Amino acid sequence: DIQMTQSPSSLSASVGDRVTITCQASQVINNYLNWFQHKPGKAPKLLIYDASILEAGVSSRFSGSGSGTDFTFTISSLQPEDIATYYCQYYDSLLIFGGGTKVEIK
């Protein structure tokens, strides 16, 4: 079975900082990767699909890159409203989530 290893599990950064989250697959998954934002009590929100394509209406400060087994999610300038847990998700015949990264403001 494919495993998705997401790191770090949590981070604390200042407003305006560049934030990077990585997701590593245990085998090649091509670009079958989404990134979601999840705020407490809210529905998770799709930010990036197919590893690097920004979902319509999502702020351009969010971006994704990578292919094969290694993927990166970046917030170019952290804002207070970005406080959330972020998940990578592999999708094919099943869905596999990374463990999540809780992002906090320093």
Residues near another protein, by CB under 8 A: 34, 36, 38, 42-46, 49, 85, 87, 89, 93-100
Computed on alpha carbons and rounded to an integer, the radius of gyration of the chain in Å comes to 13
Q: How far is the CB of 63 from another protein (least distance, A)?
A: 18
Name which of 44 and 54 has its Cβ closer to another protein.
44
* Residues contacting residue 57 through CB under 8 Å, at least 6 positions apart: none
Name which of 3 and 77 has its Cβ closer to another protein.
3
Q: What is the dihedral of CA 100, 83, 91, 30, to 10 degrees?
A: -90
Q: How far is the CB of 87 from another protein (least distance, A)?
A: 6
Name which of 61 and 102 has its Cβ closer to another protein.
102
Q: How far is the CB of 14 from another protein (least distance, A)?
A: 25
Q: What is the dihedral of CA 64, 92, 40, 105, to 10 degrees?
A: -20
